Homo-oligomer: A and B are copies of this chain.
Amino acid sequence: MIQPTAVAMNSKPDGQQSKYQLSKETAGLRSTDLLPHNLSGQAPTREFLLKVVDILVDYINDVNNRDEKVLHFKHPEEMLRLLKLDIPDEGVPLQNLIDDCSLTLKHQVKTGHPRFFNQLSCGLDIVSMAGEWLTATANTNMFTYEIAPVFILMENVVLTKMREIIGWKGGDSIFAPGGSISNMYAFLAARHKMFPGYKEQGLHSIKGQLVMYTSNQSHYSVKSCASVCGLGTDNCVDVPSDERGRMIPSELERLILERKSKGHIPFFVTATAGTTVLGAFDPINEIADICEKYKMWLHIDAAWGGGLLLSRKYRHPRLDGIERANSVTWNPHKLMGTLLQCSTIHFRENGLLISCNQMSAEYLFMQDKLYDIQYDTGDKVIQCGRHNDVFKLWLQWRAKGNEGFEKHMDHLMELSEYMVEKIKASPDKYYLILEPEMVNVSFWYVPKRLRNIPHSPKRAESLGQITPVLKGKMMEVGTLMVGYQPLNELPNFFRNIISSAAVTKEDVDFLLSELDRLGQDL
């Protein structure tokens, strides 16, 4: 059994030894020679895992090495040729698995690189990552205290803390697989609270069309929720936003009255705290006044901006009034840098999650258990099995403390302010679209040929055409990544995100000069 095979020793097509070479004894073993299949497999199991960790630690060093590229771009067809993705009939030896791991990371985009500004979720927090390794090894499901006692208690501690930060005593919360599902939980709880017959009878329990509202800058999951839950996207009303991307409260009220006059039933408003593109904050207090006036549920989608609740300096005025909401989505996997996935949804009122979602599966949620069953969460959720998303956040919070998270938020905001200043100092090269409220910096890069021309819709159009071309060059060179998109009337512009703890002022300087290097002759 313990005999290396020829395949393993020559796992590299060119016959060279792998950079990550297992011992002769282990290289040719199969996964069935490891635990749990082979109880004397402790040593090769350890060796195999440590070799994987070698690869991962080297990758972490590469991620933090500014001389390394963010990516080595390949088109899909070429990438398919470089990788060996086929699934074999017979399992491959351990050395091949090691090489698979190494090859995978070689071609993966380094989302934790200090010059990756492309996504709301960036960075690679080491402690949170260690937490996720442990989570994998614990490999448990989150439905009952019975099988996840420690993690269930941790959820209680962390979620209670988050509700306190929002400004609530009591209430209820749950982790969900992403902000879109969190937003859906809010919708479901609102519908259930206001129309309790809906759960059993559906639409026939009410007379009239339910209507929900959100700004035209909100995350697309809000509209998706209208589709999934049966309202139809036509009944998710887009409320216009102002020039800074914030919902206009008077427009909200006008649109509520418009639907009411048709006999419809407006019942649910999603205000966004940190919009996806511009990072705008809807005015919560004014929207809350309207919700109170018309007895509507107020949900705050703070998936993106929620992290700023941790900063005494920056939570005001952006998140003022959040405690008046009925529910809040807040994704630690965004601004807080927790590993993917980590999203939470919070409710001011306790008891709604269970009454809304309970299906009382008797095989899981028996009433005659050994312990206090109030800790079982499974019957509160629309999933059954649920991934353990708490440990990596809890461990990270232990490591940073409240102070550490506050510093992290302040640092990200200060860097973004620095970037805005830099852009404003070179108005010939960079066109700032607006003064941001958050770490989203929206701008056009201006190549030489468009520099001495007054700005006009026509010039904006030209800048919008340059943006994807420059993004393409950026990816081919691989030195940085910044996202872009159009927005309403605005043609394609860059949206730079600083949400990674790895970013420094020097990286911001690099970003701007690299754009200039790549783009000045476009």
Contact = CB atoms under 8 A, between A and B. Distances in A.
Contact of A35 (B42, B126, B133, B134): B126
B232 A200 contact: yes
Nearest to A396: B31
A220 B384 contact: yes
A139 B157 contact: no
B398 A92 contact: yes
Given A85-B154, A97-B398, A368 B91 contact: no
A407 B363 CA distance: 29
Contacts of A371: 75-76
A149 B112 CA distance: 15
A472 B148 CA distance: 16
A241 interface: no
A115 to B, nearest CB: 12
How many copies of the chain does the oligomer comprise?
2
Interface string A163-182: 00000000000000111110
B383 A124 contact: no
Interface residues on A, range: 35 or more
Interface in A128-186: 129-134, 136-141, 145-151, 153-154, 157-158, 161, 177-181, 184
A230 B202 contact: yes
Interface string A335-378: 00001110100000000000001011111101011111001000
A139 to B, nearest CB: 5
A30 interface: yes
A485 B53 contact: no
A228 B50 contact: no
Given A73-B370, A92-B399, A343-B385, 17 more contacts: A49-B126, A52-B134, A56-B134, A85-B153, A85-B154, A85-B157, A87-B161, A100-B398, A108-B151, A147-B481, A177-B177, A202-B209, A202-B226, A202-B235, A276-B361, A368-B492, A370-B471
10 contacts: A56-B137, A91-B404, A96-B398, A108-B138, A109-B148, A133-B133, A199-B227, A202-B235, A368-B468, A370-B476
